[in-house]
Chains A and B, each alone.
Chain A
Amino acid sequence: MAKTDPARTTKERQSKAEKGAADPLPASLTKSDYQELLLQLYLARYFDVRLIKEKKRGRLRGTLYSSHNQEAILVGSLFGLRPTDWISPIHRDMPAFFLKDMRAGWSNPNRSGMSIEEVCGQVWGKVGSPGRARDNWSHIGSTKHKIIHSTSMLAGTIPAACGVVLADRLDGKDSVALTFNGEGSTAQGVFHEAINFASVHKLPVVTIVENNQWAFGTPAHLEYALEDFARRADGYGIPGLIADGQDVIDVYEKVSEAVAWARSGKGPSIVECKSFRAYGHGDHDDDRAAKYRPKDEVKAGRSRDPIGIMKEKMIELGYLSQKEAEKYPVEGKGANDLTDEDFPKQVVEYLAKGVEFAIASPVPPPEEGAMWVFREVE
């Protein structure tokens, strides 16, 4: 794989694209793409903020694993996918369920991603969700939308990702699977097994490592002994890319490169997205995380807000004025300091539809708890 030239700036790439130069790298983004990406970042942030508030008010069951400060990884990696591609998000990736194939139109009923209604139905534990609220929020999925259901056993969906794309390949389709993993899950045996298997069979599986520096209460230096986790790829004979997980454009470019590599039949790769977990492991852990993580580290880790970074890029490119950039100043702020007024109207209204649907949807009848263990034999 051609390594991305680190000296190449967004501006250079953009100007090259505008001149119509042939670019071997992923399709260059237009102004409206940038605007859409920024809006998606706002949506992912707002979804998280809203859930934190709902959870604090005692309206939701279960645990919230905040994706705050890691939105660029989800938005950037999903933006270049095709509707026919597969993903396997994990617990911290809730926005991924509705961000998949969002370019087909946020409310397009035919897009290859979940509707906000389905996702909210699940969060609120209602029957109007895929799976009828049988497993918790973060484990939803939909084979129809090509989203693999995860379990709590992390890295456990990488083998399934191998299987779905192998099936597609046998059927003559060129789909790619993106698997999402925290850096903590990379120590699981199955992480090694599955990537080894994918590399042996040159399967189009891109393993995204959301390196947020903390696996629950264990810091990264106690999880693996590499400076850059991406170097682990060398052992499998596959490319290992490093993306700035706070920079949605960099994530988009690196993941798109990996996806193009996979789709062309060259096999799997690992994309390490360097980031930082904003809060505790789950909302139950926020208070303790404030103690077990050094204050300076948290301050530095949260200083590079993906929304702020995207705004700077857009200002640099002339896609956003300073005044527009100041209109929704959510960057650097926690959920408690934000209200609906801080977010673009389109984002607030979109989620409102989902929440409204979820609240109106009934809870599952108790007897469903005993159903669907087996499929009846026809």
Chain B
Amino acid sequence: MALIENTEKVNYLNALREAIFEEFELNENFIAIGEDIGLLGGAFGVTDGLQARFGTDRVYDAPISEATIVGTACGLCLNGKRAMVEMQFIDFISCGFDQIVNMVATYHYRTAGEVSIPMVIRGPAGAYGGGALYHSQMNEAWFANSPGLKIVCPSTPADAKGLLKSALRDPNPVIFYEIKELYRKRQIEEPVERGDASLVPLGKAKVRREGSDVTIVTYGQNVYHCLDAANNLKAEGFEAEVIDLRTLVPLDKQTVIESMTKTNRLVVVNEAPRTCGFAGEVLANVAEEAFELLDAPPVRISRMDTPVPWAKPLEMHVLPSVESITEAALRTCRY
């Protein structure tokens, strides 16, 4: 299957698309359901051509009914199918919240392991693009606090493909955060493998940059802010290790703690609000399990406890930035 003409470099969106086409090709039990995903091919084009390729029996344009989209997908999974649900924006997932956290997430638990729901709910997420309050959210913490859901957030094309393939094969429900600002970002295009060689396991973090002075843990779009901040730190004489979590649930604590045995300093960055955000969860785990490793107070950098505002100066003011990450990391290094 040659989806992508240019085999050398693939963007984040086409990597996702390739993952979906490959898995739908391999397993005819996959059903896709979402708003505008068939005829149109998705608001951003992630499912472009999917219905033409696999037919209207496997790719459904649903009415604007997120709860019923998720619930119907749940029923499909109860009866032998696997489901891929697209949220047009991950912000809209709130309309399907009850079905996700009460129906889907708990099914395996409620049935003492009899029934699992092999469902991926994926959708474009994240701020920094002027999407304003309802097209900018990172609401992963809602679901991290709902037992039974895996949570994934890739930052590169290869991870986007490899993690989505793994998510689609997972027997559990997975919420998959796609960073829409990265969908067509030229600077991050990279070659991706075909088939099983492209698989990336869930639950494994990746060290994006090695360093020995401070560990910066992040995921999604903030990976790039942190890498830029690491360059700033280098100019100040500090080497930062940047860890991309890639999967939040299950959390790869080991990679974080191993890094801290070298650096003894921790900064965690996410673009979700501060209070009960996932960065706080990482900090709490380190405080409980690696307190002795800390030579400086661990730091959270997050969005302020605000919605994401629209006008650019407002949006940038409330979100983590290269500057705010650099400054926090420097303070930590100099503590």
Q: Which A residues lie at the B interface, using CB under 8 A?
A: 130-132, 134-135, 139, 141-143, 148-149, 151-153, 156-168, 170-171, 189-190, 193-194, 196-197, 200-201, 368, 371-375, 377-378
Contacts and interface: CB of A to CB of B under 8 A. Distances in A.
B81 A368 contact: no
A163 B78 CA distance: 8
B268 to A, nearest CB: 24
Contacts of B77: 163
Contacts of A132: 112
A194 to B, nearest CB: 5
A164 B113 contact: no
Contact of A163 (B74, B112, B116): B74
A373 B65 contact: no
Given A167-B81, A168-B79, A375-B172, A160 B112 contact: no
Contacts of B202: 377
Nearest to B98: A153
Nearest to B202: A377
B293 interface: no
B67 A160 contact: no
B75 A375 contact: no
Given A189-B67, A196-B65, A375-B113, A163 B98 contact: no
B79 A159 contact: no
A132 B106 CA distance: 14
B63 A200 contact: yes
Given A163-B78, A164-B76, A197 B63 contact: yes
A164 B73 CA distance: 9
A135 B110 contact: yes
Nearest to B77: A163
Interface string B91-115: 0000000110011001111111111
Given A131-B114, A189-B67, A373 B147 contact: yes
B68 A156 contact: no
Contacts of A368: 112
Given A132-B112, A159-B67, A197 B75 contact: no
Nearest to B73: A163
A65 to B, nearest CB: 18
A375 B107 CA distance: 11
B71 interface: yes
Interface string B163-203: 00000001110000000000000000000000000000010
A134 B112 contact: yes
B85 to A, nearest CB: 11
B57 interface: yes
Given A373-B147, A377-B171, A148 B78 contact: yes
Contacts of B106: 135, 151
Contacts of A193: 63, 65, 67-68
28 contacts: A134-B112, A148-B75, A148-B78, A149-B111, A151-B98, A153-B102, A156-B99, A156-B102, A160-B72, A160-B74, A160-B75, A163-B74, A163-B76, A164-B79, A166-B72, A167-B80, A190-B71, A190-B99, A193-B65, A194-B68, A194-B72, A196-B65, A196-B68, A371-B112, A372-B111, A373-B148, A375-B171, A375-B172
Nearest to A161: B75
Nearest to B65: A193
B294 interface: no
Contacts of B116: 375
B150 interface: yes
B65 A197 contact: yes
B229 interface: no
Interface string B127-168: 000000000000000000001101000000000000000000
B1 to A, nearest CB: 23
Contacts of B121: none
A373 B68 contact: no
How many chain B residues sit at the interface, stated as a range, is 35 or more
B249 to A, nearest CB: 9
B70 interface: yes
A142 B112 CA distance: 11
A166 B110 contact: no
Contacts of A153: 98, 102-103
B111 A162 contact: no
Interface in B39-84: 57, 60, 62-63, 65, 67-81, 83
B113 to A, nearest CB: 4
A240 to B, nearest CB: 20
A22 B73 CA distance: 40
Contact of B70 (A135, A143, A159, A196): A159
A237 to B, nearest CB: 14
Nearest to B58: A170
Contact of B62 (A130, A134, A189, A197): A197
Given A158-B71, A372-B113, 12 more contacts: A131-B114, A148-B78, A158-B68, A162-B68, A164-B78, A167-B76, A167-B81, A190-B67, A200-B63, A372-B112, A375-B108, A377-B171
A378 B170 CA distance: 9
Contact of B113 (A141, A142, A168, A371): A371
A190 B71 CA distance: 9
A-B pairs, 6 with minimum CB distance: A163-B75, A159-B71, A167-B79, A160-B75, A193-B65, A193-B68
A160 B78 contact: yes
Contact of A170 (B57, B71, B78): B57
B98 to A, nearest CB: 5
B71 A374 contact: no
Contacts of A131: 110-112, 114
Contacts of A135: 106, 110
B109 A197 contact: no
A164 B79 CA distance: 5
Contacts of B115: 143
A164 B116 CA distance: 14
A197 B99 CA distance: 15
A131 B172 CA distance: 17
Contact of A159 (B68, B114, B150, B170): B68
